Amino acid sequence: MAEILALVEARLRTALGEPDARAAITFLGTDRIEVLRFVDADAGLVRYATLGMSAQPMADPTAVLADPVKGPRAELVLSVRAGLADTDKVLRALAVFAATPQVEGVVVAPGASLDVGEPLWPGAPFSSVLVAEPGGLVEDLDLDDPMDPVRFLPLLPMTQNEAAWKRVHGAQALEERWLANGTDLRDPLRRSVPLD
């Protein structure tokens, strides 16, 4: 487990640079989850990445026994514009999201919604995120067979209206709506995209 997390952290550092801060959270009955913060001053972005979610494979909730080796592995990455909101408070929400497979026995995959039921940070118009497709910012990390690669899943904050609309129309329809409206998904204070 520690060896996998060392490889994951090395991949994050290669893709995002040196983290300037890190926090660790442990929930009762779960492994420790860390959240690393990377500042990209050139792009004016702050990126947060979980570290610990990939230590164990995610198990199919219908399986009688969880396979300790095989199964999807992932970490979560959130990118927001720097200096517009107190986004560092998102650390707890990210740790909650990363612990979801252990706590609720679900597989977090692209197209899924994750919700903490409260603003992701003070004044945030979002309490949930859409899990997006991996492979853009941080490449998948291949592990030794028979282990699945670690995928780095981007998180896209959703307003309550967007989350409700996504439940009806699907993730792809919401992403197309964002694209058609030129939505800045990294804006920590953005309003909901027009949905009518």
CA distance 185 to 190: 8
Q: Check whether 66 has a pLDDT greater than 80.
A: no
DSSP 85-148: S-GGGGHHHHHHHHHHHHHH-----TT-EEE-SS-SSTT-SEEEEEE--SSSSS--B--STTSP
Per residue in 161-188, pLDDT tens? 999 999 999 999 999 999 999 999 999 9
Per residue in 21-51, pLDDT tens? 999 988 877 788 999 999 999 999 999 999 9
CA distance 121 to 17: 24
Average of per-residue pLDDT across 132-161: 93
Q: Check whether 64 has a pLDDT greater than 70.
A: no
CA distance 80 to 91: 13
Is 90:25 a contact under the CB 8 Å cutoff?
no
**How many residues does the structure list for the chain?**
196
Average model confidence (pLDDT) for the chain?
92
User: Letter for the amino acid at 110?
Assistant: P
Q: Check whether 61 has a pLDDT greater than 70.
A: no
Tokens read off for 123: 């004044």
Q: Check whether 85 has a pLDDT greater than 70.
A: yes
pLDDT above 70 covers a percentage of the chain that reads: 96
Per-residue pLDDT at 148: 92
Is 108:153 a contact under the CB 8 Å cutoff?
yes
Is 94:21 a contact under the CB 8 Å cutoff?
no
CA distance 196 to 153: 29
Q: What is the dihedral of CA 59, 16, 110, 160, to 10 degrees?
A: 110
Per residue in 98-127, pLDDT tens? 999 988 888 999 999 999 999 999 999 999
Q: Check whether 133 has a pLDDT greater than 70.
A: yes
Per-residue pLDDT at 106: 87
Measured CA angle at 170 (ends 165, 175), to 5 deg: 85
